[in-house]
Chain A
Amino acid sequence: MKILEIKDVHKIYNSSEVQVHAINGVTLDFEKGEFAAIVGPSGSGKTTLMNMIGGLDSPTRGTITVDHTNLADLKSSRLIDFRMWNIGFVFQSYNLIPVLTAKENVEFIMNLQKWDKKDRDHRTFELLKAVGLKERAHSRPAKLSGGQQQRVAVARALASKPKFVLADEPTASLDTKSSENLLDIMEELNREEGITFIFSTHDQRVVKKARRVITLEDGKVISDERKKKNGSSS
């Protein structure tokens, strides 16, 4: 079942001196439950593509459809709501709300969505347990390590059961052990919850874990490899 369709998307930046074709005719589909990585050198258009998929930017040409909804059809306020209900975000620098505890950060979106308290608490503690931080539920981000903060961010992204999670360089600020730990958790949640994960990354550990690797160069998809169960590519 396709949850994300990107059709011939272009993004052109016009400055006074030069025209930059950041995304140059990208067409991709994503199924439910995918664990995909978008890789490429700096300037390849990864972040631009991720921003457009997340509705934070709009394509110059082409369409991006999430669960049959064309993002271009949504006005600004409806687009924000759409993101809240359908898309989860994991950022490179965690971006937790520093004045809230881990629990409060995770349940933040559920509060915006007006979840019932009982259900909200249940889901929050379930996720914190899944990311191994149930005992740190009442700690503020400043009291958590980088890896722990990123795990809280992952829990937050999954809290509202989005259609997919966009993770932009989630391991960039983490050490090796924390990165592996985080990836294992995300893989497990992907399997258990069936939520699609789309990574933008330079990290080979992420590439290794991903079951689909999309390579971008100069704004174009130059390869799109799905790994078979035995780890080989197709």
Chain B
Amino acid sequence: MIWKTAWKNVWRNKVRSLVVMISVTIGIFGGVFAVAIMNGAIEQRVDSALNNEISHIHINDPGFRDNYDIQLTIPGLEQIRGQLEETAQVEAVSPRIIISGMANTASRSAGVQILGIEPDLEKKVLNLHEKTIPGTGDFFETESRHNLAYIGEDLAKELNIIRYIIDEETLGKLRESDIPEQTLNKLSPYVGKRFHSEDEFEKEMKESLSRREQNEYGRLIREQAWSFSERSRMTLVFLDKDQMQTGAVFRIAGIYDIKNNMFEMSRVFVRKELLSRLTGLAENQVHQLVVRLNNMDQAKEVSSMLSENFPDLEVLSWKKIQPDLAYTTDLVQKFYSVFMIIILAALAFGIVNTMLMVVLERTKELGMLTAIGMNKKRVFSMIMLESVFLSLVGGVVGMIVSQVLILFTSTHGIRFSQFEEGFEAMGYSSHIYPDIDATFFITVTVLIIITGILSSIYPAVKALKLDPADALRTE
């Protein structure tokens, strides 16, 4: 009866209750969706790091990561590889040579980390090969007598390997994409022009196009003007095992884009056998083994086990390889609940205010209920239930709305184009797919109920303090 009466009491003043519920809905929706965006961004970052950059476990000499000494190779490589391949949790292993060097073109140079890999094995531990920009080459499949290199888009731009060209073909493609003729006319003077860097291209576009045109069509124009020549080459210069300078000219056989500026700027992939030959290392000398597991959640457990098996080596799980990623993941998990608690605390004040009005308006009725025999516990329960219903209805609707939007945006994503550069500088994609797991919804539901209960305490106590005789005399 108390539940039924409380539920009906909530709808006594429909407008007021709806206002409170809508404010709770908006608050919950805002909070949950914001958390979903943050979670999606973090998950994408971790996913990208594990699948494109570092995989699950690295094994190397204990001193190797201090200064990347070319001499610190992994001893007993074949035995170690054999043991790894027999470990049930291990899906694949890829050996690497890692050296520091300089990448040069005619106009620019950049410091890089050169990774000598076996493409067939590397494809099993990372999905970097899937991030090749179409039309730039096929490093992982090509068998060629040439020295081939696989580099990041940002490095390619830095070295002026990527250019921007506006020609008739570009204008034609832009016209097909429904860019207005007025805008295309502004690009016409640039037909035949080659921009040697992205900065130069952006500068000219800013001068020619309006701000609105830049925002609406800038990305599309940049994509269509983007140009790469298959004849592009660069020189890699580094020290061999005897500390003698050496190097070679490499044809760019693929450009990858993983939306991570730092990684793209610094990692160049070449074939391991070629790098072995150039550095003077033996075929069985490698600096690092990259391990992919069947299940990434086992990384800590398996790396501990491998550490015991290989006491002379350094075995690191991904959380140790990129601790900032681990910290971000752990910190943000804690942040979610705090964030929601803050939102609910703010909403609670509105509910307290509403419930105080309810108690004031129903002074006589509450006096009557006490007079006819409704004890304090029941009066308290009724007020509390009304408060819980107010917050729960708004909360549930808020969660349904946010879930619908999350489902939609998790497929289509949300593009934060204006912040693309900033996102990619930190290694995050600007095209975020919001995501949240079911346990978060359960947590929020519990928090909503607690909010309703806590919000009811003060009004309920006020109701309990009413003297029934005085209350009945109220007009």
Residues of A within 8 A of B (CB): 51, 54, 56-57, 76-77, 80-81, 83-85, 88-89, 91, 93, 95, 97-100, 104, 108-109, 111-112, 156-157
- Selected interface stretch from B7-15, B17-25, B206-214, B400-408: B7-15
A109 to B373, CA, bound (A): 7
CB <8 Å contact, B375 and A98:
no
Q: Does B292 contact A (CB under 8 A)?
A: no
Separation in Å of the B366 CB from the closest CB of chain A?
11
CB <8 Å contact, A99 and B370:
no
CB <8 Å contact, B364 and A95:
yes
CB <8 Å contact, A91 and B375:
no
State whether A57 and B469 are in contact (beta carbons under 8 Å apart), knowing that A95-B368, A97-B5, A112-B1 are contacts in the complex: yes
CB <8 Å contact, A91 and B368:
yes
CB <8 Å contact, B12 and A89:
no
A80 to B379, CA, bound (A): 12
Contacts of A77 in B (CB 8 A): 375-376
A181 to B8, CA, bound (A): 31
Contacts of A54 in B (CB 8 A): 371
Separation in Å of the B465 CB from the closest CB of chain A?
12
A76 to B376, CA, bound (A): 9
Contacts of A51 in B (CB 8 A): 469
A54 to B472, CA, bound (A): 13
Pick 16 A–B contacts, CB within 8 A, sort by A: A81-B373, A84-B374, A88-B372, A89-B368, A89-B372, A95-B364, A95-B472, A98-B12, A99-B5, A99-B12, A100-B8, A108-B1, A109-B373, A112-B373, A156-B372, A157-B372
CB <8 Å contact, B9 and A80:
no
A156 to B8, CA, bound (A): 19
A80 to B369, CA, bound (A): 10
Contacts of A80 in B (CB 8 A): 370, 373-376
Contacts of B223 in A (CB 8 A): none
Contacts of A93 in B (CB 8 A): 364
Q: Does B131 contact A (CB under 8 A)?
A: no
Q: Does B378 contact A (CB under 8 A)?
A: yes
Q: Give the residue of B8, B365, B373, B472 whose beta carbon is less than 8 angstroms from that of A83.
A: B373
Separation in Å of the B226 CB from the closest CB of chain A?
67
Q: Does B468 contact A (CB under 8 A)?
A: yes
Residues of B within 8 A of A (CB): 1, 4-5, 8-9, 11-12, 364-365, 368-376, 378, 468-469, 472
Q: Give the residue of A85, A95, A99 whose beta carbon is less than 8 angstroms from that of B8.
A: A99
Q: Which residue in chain A gives the minimum CB-CB distance to B10?
A: A99
State whether A95 and B365 are in contact (beta carbons under 8 Å apart), knowing that A56-B469, A89-B372 are contacts in the complex: yes
Contacts of A84 in B (CB 8 A): 372-375
A57 to B471, CA, bound (A): 12
Separation in Å of the A139 CB from the closest CB of chain B?
14
List 11 additional contacts besides A51-B469, A84-B374, A157-B372; criterion CB under 8 Å. A56-B469, A76-B376, A83-B372, A85-B373, A88-B372, A91-B472, A93-B364, A100-B5, A104-B1, A109-B373, A156-B372
CB <8 Å contact, B365 and A97:
yes
Separation in Å of the B377 CB from the closest CB of chain A?
8
Contact count A vs B, C-beta below 8 Å: 61
State whether A83 and B12 are in contact (beta carbons under 8 Å apart), knowing that A95-B365, A97-B5, A99-B5 are contacts in the complex: no
Separation in Å of the A195 CB from the closest CB of chain B?
15
- Contact residues of A: prevailing secondary structure: helix
Contacts of B371 in A (CB 8 A): 54, 56, 83, 89
Contacts of B5 in A (CB 8 A): 97, 99-100
Contacts of B370 in A (CB 8 A): 80
Q: Give the residue of B1, B375, B468 whose beta carbon is less than 8 angstroms from that of A81.
A: B375
- Contact residues of B: prevailing secondary structure: helix
Q: Give the residue of A57, A98, A99, A109 whose beta carbon is less than 8 angstroms from that of B372.
A: A109
Contacts of B12 in A (CB 8 A): 98-99
CB <8 Å contact, B378 and A112:
yes
CB <8 Å contact, A111 and B1:
yes
CB <8 Å contact, B374 and A112:
yes
A77 to B376, CA, bound (A): 7
A91 to B468, CA, bound (A): 13
A85 to B468, CA, bound (A): 17
Separation in Å of the B203 CB from the closest CB of chain A?
69
Separation in Å of the B306 CB from the closest CB of chain A?
65
Contacts of A76 in B (CB 8 A): 376
Separation in Å of the B355 CB from the closest CB of chain A?
16
A77 to B1, CA, bound (A): 20
Separation in Å of the A96 CB from the closest CB of chain B?
9
Contacts of A108 in B (CB 8 A): 1, 372
CB <8 Å contact, B11 and A99:
yes
A37 to B246, CA, bound (A): 118
Q: Which residue in chain B gives the minimum CB-CB distance to A157?
A: B372
Contacts of B364 in A (CB 8 A): 93, 95
Q: Which 8 A-B pairs have the closest CB atoms?
A: A84-B373, A99-B8, A111-B1, A95-B368, A56-B469, A80-B375, A51-B469, A83-B373
Contacts of A83 in B (CB 8 A): 371-373
A89 to B371, CA, bound (A): 8
Q: Which residue in chain A gives the minimum CB-CB distance to B475?
A: A93
Contacts of B378 in A (CB 8 A): 112
A80 to B11, CA, bound (A): 28
A157 to B372, CA, bound (A): 8
Contacts of B375 in A (CB 8 A): 77, 80-81, 84
Q: Which residue in chain B gives the minimum CB-CB distance to A168?
A: B472
Q: Which of B5, B11, B370, B371 has the most CB atoms of chain A within a 10 A radius of its CB? A: B371
A77 to B378, CA, bound (A): 11
Contacts of A56 in B (CB 8 A): 371, 468-469, 472
A57 to B371, CA, bound (A): 11
Contacts of A88 in B (CB 8 A): 372
Contacts of A57 in B (CB 8 A): 469
Separation in Å of the B464 CB from the closest CB of chain A?
10
A93 to B473, CA, bound (A): 10
Contacts of A99 in B (CB 8 A): 5, 8-9, 11-12
Separation in Å of the A21 CB from the closest CB of chain B?
18
